[in-house]
Amino acid sequence: MNESDVKRNMVKSIMVNSGYARRIEDQYAVGTFDMIIIPIGLPVFLAEVKMIKDNVFGPTVRQLLELERVRTAAYNGGHVIPVMIGFKDGNYYFHEPKESIDRRECFSVTSLDMSFNDQIVQYYHSRRR
């Protein structure tokens, strides 16, 4: 499965559950994050999605800058949440944006039986504790 397939499945999972998701594809918009994700009843997630090789993943310098700007503008209001989402071996890994992320330090549901929608909902609730 490639990154495009992963994103397509993420969008489908959110939409089937009555939320909204959209891929943002613009080769000329340097640093733009990959997706807008709004699970029904939850805040907006602005996500950068990466395929994980080995155990570490992260945004480009410009993507990190953009995601940090989102965090600053949201001012911890919780209405917009920047997130890095890694994917490896059928599993999603969620983490707040930072330069380098080890998947072993991420929130992850290691059950392939759970939809992406349900996983991002669980991630949202886990970060509120």
Taken as a whole, the chain contains a residue count of: 129
Residue 120: its pLDDT value, please?
96
Q: Which pTM does this prediction carry? A: 0.94
Q: What is the pLDDT of residues 24-47, one digit of tens each?
A: 977 778 888 999 999 999 999 999
Output the CA angle 59-30-66, nearest 5 degrees: 55
Residue 77: its pLDDT value, please?
78
Q: In whole angstroms, give the CA distance from residue 85 to residue 19.
A: 18
Q: Pinpoint the alpha helices (H) of the chain.
A: 3-16, 61-74, 116-127
Chain centre distance of CA 11? 11
Q: Which residue range forms the structural domain that includes residue 51?
A: 3-127
Q: What is the pLDDT of residues 84-126, one digit of tens each?
A: 999 999 999 999 999 999 999 999 987 778 999 999 999 999 9
Strand partners, 101: 57
What's the number of domains the chain is made of? 1
CATH (domain of 31): 3.40.1350.10
Average pLDDT of every residue of the chain: 93
Instruction: Please give the biggest Cα pair distance in the chain.
Output: 38
